[in-house]
Chains A and B, each alone.
Chain A
C-alpha cells in the first residue's frame, strides 16, 4: 500500500464505498470479493487533471462513457473534463449535462469550466454560476487567453471565488502558421513551426499577472525547458502557481514528425531532447506538480489528413501510468504523487481522491502491477479513437484493478460494466 503518508505491506478492506481496514492481513468474510494484489501497489486512484471527453459535440471520437472506461483501465478514479466541447462548457447547462453523463461513468467525472464565453477570449464566462456546481478549475484550453487585460480581470475574479485558472500557454501571433515545434526538424521537413517562445511568452506574462493579482494559476501541459525554468523560479518566490506535464512531453521528441504521421501532431508540439530532459527534471524535482494526460481523441479519418490539416492531440489515459513508471526513473511514491494526490489537490477533490488509504476514507483505489509487460495495441484500447503515438510499444506496468467508491470497476484489466 502506497500513499502520501508512506508505504507498507498491507491488505485493504473496503465496504460501503469506504476503506474499512488497512492491516497486514485482512480476513475476507464469505461472499466478499477478493482482488488479488500480489506483487502490486495499492494506491489512491489516479487523478487526471486534463482529459478531453469530447461530449457534447464530438461523440464520434469519444464519449463520457468511453473516455471514463479508458480512464478506469488506466488506473484513474477521477478525471477533469476539458471545456472545449461543442457547445463549450461555459455555462451551468452544459456543465450539468456532462456531470449528469458522468454519474453513470466508471470514474468520477469533474469538469473544468471555460474562462471566457465560448472560449472566444472576449468576455468572462459565468464562473460564479459554474463554481456553484462545484467547478474548481477554469481554462480556455485549446487556446490561451490572448488579451492580457482580460486575463488579469479573470484572475482577479477567480481569486474572489476561490477557484483556480489554468492556462494553455500559446501566443497566437508567434504560433501562427505552425504545426510542429519550430527547430531543426521543422526546417528540414518544410512544416511551419511553433517556437518555444510561443509558450514561454505566455508563461512569463501569466506569472507576472499571478504576482499582480495574487490568484492561483495552474499551467497546463508545459513543454519547454524555458517554461519549466520560469515556473521553478516563480515557485521559489512563493507564487501560487502549479504546473502539469503530459507523458508525450517526457517521452517523445519533434524527430517523430519525420514520419509525417499526424498521430504525432499535438499542441503544444513535441519538442527537442533538451526540452524532454527539462520536463523530466521538473517532474523529479517538483517544478512540475502533476502528470496530466491531455487525452485528446480524434477519429481515424481526421488523423489521416495531411499533417498540416490534421487536428492536434493524442490519446493518453491508458498509457500514462506505464510511461511514468518506465521513463522517469523515479520511486513509486513520487510517481504516484504526480499522478494521484498532487493532481487531486490541484483539482480541489482531495476529500475523495488521492488521499491517504485509511479507514473511513472513500475507497477510490488503484491496484498497480509494476511488472506486467504489455504491448500497446491501438485497436484494443477502450477509447473510441485510436490515435496513440505508442502503438506497438512494449510497456511495463499497468493498473490491474480499479475501485471506484468501493465498486471494483476494473478487475484483471477488464472493465466490469
Chain B
C-alpha cells in the first residue's frame, strides 16, 4: 500500500492491520527509550497548509520514534506566501529526496493531487471537509481498547457533520468495523445528501443518550453562526451540547470522545470533558502510536522491529 488518503483505501482488513500494529507501537512508546530503527534512513516531510500544532507534532513524534528523519514545511514560514504554487512546492520538496509527505490542507482533495505529482508516499492528515483517516484510526483504536470491539456498538456522532472530515472518516471506519452509527445534528449541519451513507439520523440528542455506547462530539466552528446554519452557539449548546446534565443520562460504560481542540461550553461542557467516561486524552495519546503504525505500514517494508516483544514474523505488512 503506497498512500493513505482515505479510510476506504484500507477497508476492514486494513484497519484491523493498523490496529494490530498500533498495539505493538503502544508498547514501544511505553519503553524508557521509545524508539525503534524501523524507518532509519527514511525522510518524512510534514506539509501543513493549515495550522495544526497537535496533529503535526503527533506525526513528527511518530516518525522520530521510528528513527525516520523529519522535515517540516508549514505555510506561514514558507515560500507559499511568496506565491509558489502547490505543485511547485511539492515537486521542490520531492526533489530533495523524501519517502513520505504528510499533507494537511483546507481544501478537499489536495492529498490526491499531491499523490499524482510525486513518487513519495502520501498520508492525508486532513483535507478540507473530506477525510482525516489517521483520526478515524486512533478513534477506532481508542474505542476498541476500552470496549474490546466496535462490532455491534452504537455510536452517535454529534454536531457539524457537514463540514467535518473527522465525521466522514469515522463513519467509514466505524461502519467497516461493524458499528452502528447515528448522526445527530440539525438538518443544516448535515450533508445535503446522505445517499449511500450507512447511518441513521436524528435531530434530537436527548432521546439517544441512554442507548449509545459512544458519544462522539464534533467541534462547532464559531463561523457557522454567520452562515445561517444555526441561530446561535447558545441554542446549539442547548439542543446538542454535551452538558453536565446530559452526561448524567449516559450509561456508565459509554465513552465520551472528541477529536480536539474542544470549544468548551459549546459542543461540550468542561464537566463532560472531565467526566470519567471521557477518553479524550487517551485519543491524543493513541494518536502517536496509530501514526507510527501507518508510517510503518507504508514505508517499513518488512524491516525489523528491533527489540520487539515478538519476532518480526508476527507482524504482517498489508499487501498494497
Interface positions of A (Cβ within 8 A of B): 177, 182-184, 186-191, 193, 195, 259-261, 301, 304-309
Contacts and interface: CB of A to CB of B under 8 A. Distances in A.
Nearest to B190: A187
A301 B87 CA distance: 8
Contacts of A305: 85-86
Contacts of A304: 85-87, 113
Interface string B112-151: 1100100000000001111100000000000000000000
B131 A190 contact: yes
23 contacts: A177-B227, A182-B192, A182-B193, A184-B193, A186-B191, A187-B192, A187-B195, A188-B196, A189-B108, A190-B168, A191-B108, A191-B128, A193-B192, A195-B192, A260-B108, A260-B112, A261-B113, A304-B113, A305-B85, A306-B86, A306-B109, A306-B128, A307-B109
Contacts of B165: 190
A111 B194 CA distance: 44
B65 interface: no
Given A183-B193, A188-B168, A304-B86, 11 more contacts: A182-B193, A184-B195, A186-B193, A187-B195, A190-B130, A190-B165, A191-B129, A195-B192, A260-B113, A301-B85, A306-B105
Contacts of B233: none
**Residue of A177, A189, A195, A305 with most partner-chain B CB within 10 A:** A189
B167 to A, nearest CB: 9
B190 to A, nearest CB: 9
Contacts of B130: 189-191
A309 B192 contact: no
B107 interface: yes
B110 interface: yes
Contacts of B195: 184, 187
B5 to A, nearest CB: 10
Contacts of B108: 189-191, 260, 306-308
A187 B113 contact: no
Nearest to B111: A260
The 5 closest A-B pairs by CB, nearest first: A260-B109, A306-B107, A190-B129, A190-B130, A187-B191
A167 B20 CA distance: 58
A200 to B, nearest CB: 16
Interface string B186-210: 0000011111110000000000000
Contact of B107 (A177, A188, A261, A307): A307
A275 B194 CA distance: 19
Nearest to A305: B86
A309 B112 CA distance: 15
A34 to B, nearest CB: 47
Contact of A186 (B131, B163, B192, B194): B192
A183 B192 contact: yes
Contacts of A195: 192
A89 to B, nearest CB: 29
Contacts of B109: 189, 191, 260, 306-307
A260 B109 CA distance: 5
A195 B192 CA distance: 9
Contacts of A182: 192-193
A193 B129 CA distance: 12
A273 B195 CA distance: 15
A192 B187 CA distance: 16
Contacts of A186: 191-193
A372 to B, nearest CB: 31
Contact of B110 (A183, A184, A306): A306
Contacts of B128: 190-191, 306, 308
B113 A306 contact: yes
Nearest to A301: B85
A261 B87 CA distance: 13
Interface string B78-89: 000000011100
Contacts of A189: 108-109, 130
A296 B192 CA distance: 29
A97 to B, nearest CB: 30
A334 B22 CA distance: 63
A412 to B, nearest CB: 36
B200 to A, nearest CB: 16
B107 A184 contact: no
A197 B127 CA distance: 28
A299 to B, nearest CB: 11
A193 B197 CA distance: 17
A36 to B, nearest CB: 42
Contacts of B197: 187
